[in-house]
Amino acid sequence: MVLSGAREHGKNMFAVDVDGQIFVLDAGLKYPDSSLFGIDVVIPDMDFFAQYGDRVSGIFLTHGHADSIGALPYILRNYDIDIFGSELTIALAKIEVKRENKKINNKLFHVIDQDSEIEFKSASVSFFHTTHSIPDSLGIVIHTSEGQIVYTGDFKFDPSATQNYRTDMDLLAKIGLNKVLALLSDSSNSEAWFPSASEQDIEKYVTDVFRNAKGRIIVAAKASNLNRVQEVLNAAHKTGRRVLLTGRDVAKIVRTSMKLGYLDVPDGLLMRVKDLKTTPDEKTVILETGRMGEPLNSLQKMATKRHSMIRIHKGDLVFIATTPSNSVETMVAETSDMVYRAGGTVIQLGRNKHTSGHATGRDLQLLIDTLKPKFLFPVIGEYRLMEIHKNLAIKVGMKKDDIYLVQNGESYVYEKNKDHFYLSDPVPGEDTMIDGSGVGDVGNIVLRDREILSDDGIFIAVVTIDRKKKKIIAQPQVTSRGFVYIKANHKLMHDSIEVIKKAIDNNFEHKKFDWTELKQDIRNDLEKFLYKQTNRRPVVLPVVMEVNQNRHRAMQKKNNAKDEQAKINKKSHKTHNSGSNKYNNRQHKHPIDVNKSGKKVVEKDKENK
């Protein structure tokens, strides 16, 4: 079952149903692009757990990045499902869940490793080490009666990787000796043909950059890319610099990784914000991370003097130590320009070294050649990358008909007699959008309105009517935001008022009164008028209010009674105080309120009343 993560990058989530038992592989999120106005994150369709939650035996995690663990807080709010992952992955998953949920059930989290094998009623699940940009990454193997189903998660091959990052090729070969029925494999970097630089080469390059820098170094990197964080710490230590960690995410992740022994931080290397004043620029490294993995917003604030702690000044080197995604390349260029304007310089690791945490085309072919799967399901990547993955598999001997280019919401059933997978009933595969505390309450209609608001703004018309007398009681009021500058468009605003009046009069004259129709008439006429005048289509919001005649009459009667009483009081005060010239003079000068003339007068006034 392809729940999420196909024909897109991020929010990986797949499921395998073996004789009624469901095994969920990863539960990730993705960060929104510019078209999702105001959306914080996007997660897989939660309706899957509403339909199949009672059959889910567990969620098995490959690694600790957000695209693998980010949806867990929203799943565990409503469902008690066992979570399996490596020690570091489970630690990071708990941090992610605690961030969104106040309470966490620690009994649901289970730490496993490569040597673990978990027996279930219909299948067993085992694991194998993989290489990625975070340690303790695992691939997952589901052992069924018809063969093994292998899910790689995010991976690559790097023979020079350190122990915590190294793929176990021997175990991978053993898995390939048994029947691999289906392989679900990472496609994110399939179009890259040249091999990625080894992490040893990258660490040497980072050290050289640090050694040649004359002033402060500001490093932009993913908080969860622990491999890169370790290389930055090593380079700072070798060049005699101290490191300041900025950002809540990196602090939590670094502390957790240090505690578990996955990150080596020499004593005295880290410093606090107050140490910046006493540490020379040539001895300072600032490690800035961002929630989206590419902390460009923070760099822009530093360059424009809007950051709460750091300001880029002349002599600073900004080292972008991560490879930005294609969708933010324009933003990278804009950020670099801001840094140069502020007096700094920029070096991008991705420009000088080909580096990625995902398998290249040759890595994918090597995996297929090692496992020899009967069927291939390219996942984790846009459509073009899945198509390239398919072509790479054909080149190493796989049959075209044995490769499935899937999409979210599809499910495939294995038919033993024909030895083939066929497309079955769909499963929930829509996006669930998170906006603030709301989960899934923002849909396409809301997003469309937000898009229109961002393009042409909003135009608001307020009018009060008497529907019994069929007339407008108060002059319509109009205002706008993000549409036109009101002070420079008096004529447009005045003419729009006439349009509103005409729409209401036409409705009263030719139609039986209906609130919905009246508002729709005002909206339609205004939209046509405003587009004709400006060629823009703002969101038109008519607000029509009705005067309450009964309440109006009661208020009028009450006000008349007050006026009569005031006249009586006034005459009474004049008669009572006619002998006092001093008071009369003061009353003549201040005729606004008799009661304010003194305490005795107020008391007498009460007696008169």
Multiple choice CATH, 199-348, 3.40.50.10710, 3.30.1370.10, 3.40.50.720, 3.30.420.10: 3.40.50.10710
pLDDT, residue 490, reads 85
Q: What is the mean pLDDT of the segment spanning 380-385?
A: 94
Nearest of 222, 272, 215, 275 to residue 239 by alpha carbon:
215
pLDDT, residue 3, reads 97
- Name the residue ranges covered by the structural domains of the chain: 2-194+356-439, 199-348, 444-549
Q: 410 is written with which tokens?
A: 């599809």
Lowest model confidence (mean pLDDT) among 140-144, 296-300, 495-499 = 296-300
pLDDT, residue 606, reads 45
159-168 residue pLDDT tens: 888 888 989 9
Q: 351 is written with which tokens?
A: 């420009």
Residue 14 in this model has a pLDDT that exceeds 90: yes
Q: Which residue has the higher pLDDT, 293 or 283?
A: 283
pLDDT, residue 579, reads 47
Residue 361 backbone dihedrals phi, psi, to 5 degrees? -55, -40
pLDDT, residue 514, reads 79
Q: What is the mean pLDDT of the segment spanning 558-587?
A: 56
pLDDT, residue 312, reads 93
Q: What is the band of 600 on the pLDDT scale with cuts at 50, 70, 90?
A: very low
DSSP string covering 370-437? HH--SEEEEESB-HHHHHHHHHHHHHTT--GGGB----TT--EEEETTTTEEEE-S------EEEETT
Q: Which residue has the higher pLDDT, 340 or 588?
A: 340
Lowest model confidence (mean pLDDT) among 1-5, 183-187, 242-246, 506-510 = 506-510
pLDDT, residue 383, reads 96
Q: What is the band of 428 on the pLDDT scale with cuts at 50, 70, 90?
A: very high
Q: What is the mean pLDDT of the segment spanning 469-480?
A: 85
Cα torsion through 252, 255, 259, 260, rounded to 10: 60
Nearest of 463, 479, 476 to residue 547 by alpha carbon:
463
Q: What is the mean pLDDT of the segment spanning 369-389?
A: 96
The DSSP call for residue 206 is H
Q: What is the band of 437 on the pLDDT scale with cuts at 50, 70, 90?
A: low
Q: Which residue has the higher pLDDT, 518 or 591?
A: 518
Residue 433 in this model has a pLDDT that exceeds 60: yes
pLDDT, residue 452, reads 67
pLDDT, residue 572, reads 59
Q: What is the mean pLDDT of the segment spanning 462-491?
A: 84
Residues that constitute the known binding site for substrate: 354-358
pLDDT, residue 351, reads 85
Q: Model's pTM, two decimal places?
A: 0.78
Residues that constitute the known binding site: 354-358
Class of domain 2-194+356-439: alpha beta
In the block, tokens 């469309």 appear at 448
Residue 369 in this model has a pLDDT that exceeds 60: yes
DSSP string covering 233-253? HHHHHHTT-EEEEESHHHHHH
Beta strands (DSSP E) in 277-348 are 284-289, 317-320, 345-348
Give the Cα-Cα-Cα angle 186, 190, 194 (nearest 5 degrees): 130
pLDDT, residue 597, reads 41
pLDDT, residue 40, reads 75
Q: What is the mean pLDDT of the segment spanning 551-561?
A: 59
Q: Which residue has the higher pLDDT, 318 or 221?
A: 318
Q: What is the mean pLDDT of the segment spanning 371-384?
A: 96
Mean pLDDT score across all residues of the chain: 85
pLDDT, residue 36, reads 63
What CA–CA distance (Å, rounded) separates 444 from 210? Answer: 47
In the block, tokens 């009369």 appear at 584
pLDDT, residue 584, reads 44
Residue 586 in this model has a pLDDT that exceeds 60: no
Q: Which residue has the higher pLDDT, 484 or 387?
A: 387
500-536 residue pLDDT tens: 888 888 888 877 777 788 888 899 999 999 988 888 8
Just give the CATH number of 444-549: 3.10.20.580
199-215 burial by CB neighbour count: b if 16+ within 10 A, else e?
beebbebbbebbeebeb
pLDDT, residue 517, reads 86
Helices marked H in 428-489 = 444-456
Nearest of 273, 278, 332 to residue 308 by alpha carbon:
273
Q: Which residue has the higher pLDDT, 324 or 63?
A: 63
Q: What is the mean pLDDT of the segment spanning 172-190?
A: 96
Lowest model confidence (mean pLDDT) among 33-42, 133-142, 410-419 = 33-42
Q: What is the band of 593 on the pLDDT scale with cuts at 50, 70, 90?
A: very low
Q: What is the band of 604 on the pLDDT scale with cuts at 50, 70, 90?
A: very low
Residue 271 in this model has a pLDDT that exceeds 80: yes
Q: What is the band of 384 on the pLDDT scale with cuts at 50, 70, 90?
A: very high
pLDDT, residue 198, reads 85
* % of the chain at pLDDT higher than 90: 51
